[in-house]
């Protein structure tokens, strides 16, 4: 479980995150949704320590990450897997080497054990054949899946995904959503997913925080979101004509 309390972050004059609080639950997919530029990426970068927040607390199982020293933060980071918006695979390494990298860095596994674990993770994301390929030889969807394989290699307790399905076709996108949902429940991870995609929201949104201009103005579940009584959220949810018609029919 991760609990964020009253988090604030400004860049110069720009106040990006405003007093954000939310509880990210274990074994669930916790979604952060909101328009482009509201500060979703900044929020999770604060949560994993890539950006220093101005104030507020980020509690990993009750311990505040922000005020920890480097060594303690490092311990927590080894329990974090992260999928970046652009995958961020290491260009100079093959897929298999990418997945093996955290294992080489932080465990004493033998070469054979690492290879097995990497193969297992690649199979888990349906890419058993991709081990020998370099990132430049993978499609966007394959890169994201290899990045997920790398993120789960260390059996993390916390998984962060920044727009795991942006830029993917609907079927691949659903595949990735299902994968995230499955592994979250299977490994009982605290999973944090940023998305703009209403399909994903309805598919995996166990808990949802809606950010608008850096403020959380709604929270709930995927079952509640379609009937939520919030003007800004409605604009976001019913952005497409299709969903608008769906709503009108629901109301009629």
Instruction: Point out which residues bind ligand ATP (CB under 6 A).
Output: 11, 16, 36-42
Please state, in angstroms and rounded to a whole number, the distance separating the CA atoms of residues 83 and 146: 10
- The CB-of-166 to other proteins minimum distance in angstroms stands at 14
Select from 4-12, 33-41, 87-95, 182-190 the region that touches Mg ion (CB under 5 A). Answer: 33-41
Taking the least distance from each CB to Mg ion, the nearer of 41 and 191 is 41
How close are the terminal C-alpha atoms of the chain, in Å? Answer: 41
* Residue 61 in contact with other proteins, rule: CB under 8 A: no
* Residue 195 in contact with Mg ion, rule: CB under 5 A: no
- The CB-of-86 to other proteins minimum distance in angstroms stands at 6
* Residue 85 in contact with other proteins, rule: CB under 8 A: yes
Please state, in angstroms and rounded to a whole number, the distance separating the CA atoms of residues 130 and 146: 8
* Residue 94 in contact with Mg ion, rule: CB under 5 A: no
Taking the least distance from each CB to ligand ATP, the nearer of 41 and 94 is 41
- Determine phi and psi for 60, rounding to 5 degrees: -95, 110
Instruction: State the binding partner of 49 from Mg ion, other proteins, ligand ATP, none, CB within 5 to 8 A by kind.
Output: other proteins
Select from 38-46, 63-71, 168-176, 234-242 the region that touches Mg ion (CB under 5 A). Answer: 38-46
Provide the binding-site residues for other proteins, judged by CB under 8 A.
45, 48-50, 73-75, 77-78, 80, 82, 84-86, 88-91, 101-102, 104-106, 160
């Amino acid at each position: 479980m991760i609990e964020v309390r009253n988090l604030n972050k400004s860049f110069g004059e720009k106040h990006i995150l405003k007093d954000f609080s939310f509880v990210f639950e274990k074994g669930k997919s916790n979604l952060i949704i909101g328009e482009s530029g509201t500060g979703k990426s900044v929020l999770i970068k604060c949560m994993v320590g890539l950006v220093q927040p101005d104030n507020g607390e980020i509690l990993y199982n009750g311990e505040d990450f922000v005020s920890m020293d480097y060594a303690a933060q490092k311990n927590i980071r080894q329990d974090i897997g992260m999928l970046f918006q652009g995958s961020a695979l290491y260009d100079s390494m093959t897929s298999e080497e990418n997945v093996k990298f955290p294992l080489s860095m932080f465990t004493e596994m033998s070469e054979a054990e690492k290879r097995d674990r990497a193969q297992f993770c690649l199979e888990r994301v349906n890419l058993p054949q991709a081990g020998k390929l370099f990132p430049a030889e993978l499609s966007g969807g394959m890169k994201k899946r290899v990045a997920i394989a790398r993120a789960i290699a260390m059996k993390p307790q916390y998984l962060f995904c920044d727009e795991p399905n942006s830029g993917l076709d609907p079927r691949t996108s659903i595949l990735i959503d299902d994968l995230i949902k499955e592994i979250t429940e299977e490994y009982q991870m605290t999973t944090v997913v940023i998305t703009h995609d209403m399909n994903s929201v309805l598919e995996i949104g166990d808990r949802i925080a809606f950010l608008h201009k850096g403020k959380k103005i709604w929270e709930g579940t995927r079952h509640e979101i379609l009937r939520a009584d919030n003007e800004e959220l409605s604009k976001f949810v019913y952005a497409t004509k299709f969903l608008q018609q769906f709503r009108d029919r629901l109301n009629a």
